[in-house]
Chain A
């Protein structure tokens, strides 16, 4: 059955996507003279990927998983342990990401019963348990001390990748993340997720498999978390339970909410603005958390739809014309 005729104004059109892709790949090259700035750009690109995953779940699905960073951590520890055991990083990455996906799908199960705020609360507890597990299973994670001197992965030959090449890998991951999100949002899955976000009982009444759709969303969203986590560990070179604690989940959530949940570009902008902020504020780390707290309150109270949503309501998917032309005069 053909339904999707050309959408009027696609969310995340080809032109902004092209601009973003060019910028993402140009950035590491332009900044290659200054390792510090290039590093900030790289971390920001990982956050773009994370924000896309959080946006899928929170922005489109209406689910707020505060265990997001924990899932990234599961993948990061898996990949670091596997590479330490002699695996190739490029083989360990999909395995680690898949671990995070399966874990995210299982840990997302409470969302089938708990709605809105109650699931968020539950995910907060899950995140805490994951953090404690990272501390407790010191055999795998080296506990609170963390794992340091994680090497950058090697290219095919065995020689470690140059910093610039790895930066470009991060660019590719961020661009791919946005592209995949655009594709999902434009598919039937996107429409199902929005329907569930708006009214899950009505969605079910219209034939939408609410349970299945939520689990698929968790699987894909956690995959974003996992890939980001796997890329993060060798880039920073050090991971500890604090690298993936609840504050990181909150930061990623804030990027989505501040930028504009349920839009393609809002959370990307949110990540681009907020991820570098923590580096700029490094010397003022005592006020950093206060500032983030204030920002969270400001977003919730003043601009629930985020920058991209202006102060208005949540933006939407382009709908097919359905044989009824737009802006038609009253019939009859």
Chain B
């Protein structure tokens, strides 16, 4: 696999909601195998950016290419079938169905559905196999996040966009999730939005900082976390 091939390329993405500019001319490139972290204060446009890429929100201008194909005007299901999947900030599973049914549903229209042995292997790795016959709505938040990952992975996506994967988890669970996510890198390329610096520091190869819809900085985590502008305008105000 060519590690340097460009997987995701966003050009001049802009999005306005009425008079509010949510995204202003965002350019972003992610290579295959490269973990990209996106940080920024609340309302800086991170989730809007993911919504634009995954087809949930139409941008006012700009273009997105995924794995060499333009995504303009595609529906979320077409984008998912192209191998680009995402999770939601608030965990989202089919709560009334069992874990097994959730996974079966994910397999129905998967780009490349995993065979049963692989499903079992991923479920074991995520430590969720023992909950397969439980109702998904009755799982703990951590287990629901594990199920979310399982439902995405059985589709064997090329890129997984995670919207705050450790949101709401306890500190012990955050450590477990970070460990899982660092192993996840071997399975697919990851794009991660996070508030928790620890996640970004340990996972990301490259960090993009959004501020009021604009790209403030971009670079390796060590440089970004030392960048005076980022410290002044974001880190300094949040991480006391």
Contact = CB atoms under 8 A, between A and B. Distances in A.
Interface of A: 1-3, 5, 188, 191-192, 194-195, 198-199, 201-211, 313-314, 316-317, 319-324, 326-332
Contact of B132 (A191, A198, A208, A326): A326
Nearest to B106: A206
B227 interface: no
Which 8 A-B residue pairings sit nearest by Cβ, starting from the closest? Answer: A323-B116, A323-B120, A207-B109, A330-B130, A207-B80, A319-B104, A319-B100, A198-B94
Interface string B55-81: 010000000000000000001110011
Contact of A188 (B95, B108, B118): B108
Interface of B: 54, 56, 75-77, 80-81, 85-86, 92-98, 100-101, 103-111, 113, 115-121, 123-124, 127, 129-130, 132-133, 151, 155
Given A205-B54, A317-B101, A322-B100, 18 more contacts: A191-B105, A192-B108, A194-B105, A199-B92, A201-B56, A203-B105, A204-B77, A206-B105, A206-B106, A206-B109, A207-B155, A316-B97, A319-B104, A322-B116, A323-B120, A324-B100, A324-B120, A331-B124
Given A204-B75, A205-B80, A331-B124, A3 B104 contact: yes
Given A3-B107, A206-B80, A198 B130 contact: no
Contacts of A316: 96-98, 101
A318 to B, nearest CB: 9
Chain A contact residues, majority secondary structure: loop
Max chain A C-beta neighbours (<10 A), residue from B94, B111, B113, B117: B94
23 contacts: A2-B115, A3-B104, A3-B116, A191-B108, A192-B105, A194-B105, A195-B105, A195-B108, A202-B92, A202-B93, A205-B54, A206-B110, A207-B108, A207-B111, A208-B105, A316-B97, A316-B101, A322-B104, A323-B115, A324-B116, A324-B129, A326-B132, A329-B130
B167 to A, nearest CB: 17
Contacts of B113: 1, 3
Contact of A313 (B80, B85, B96): B96
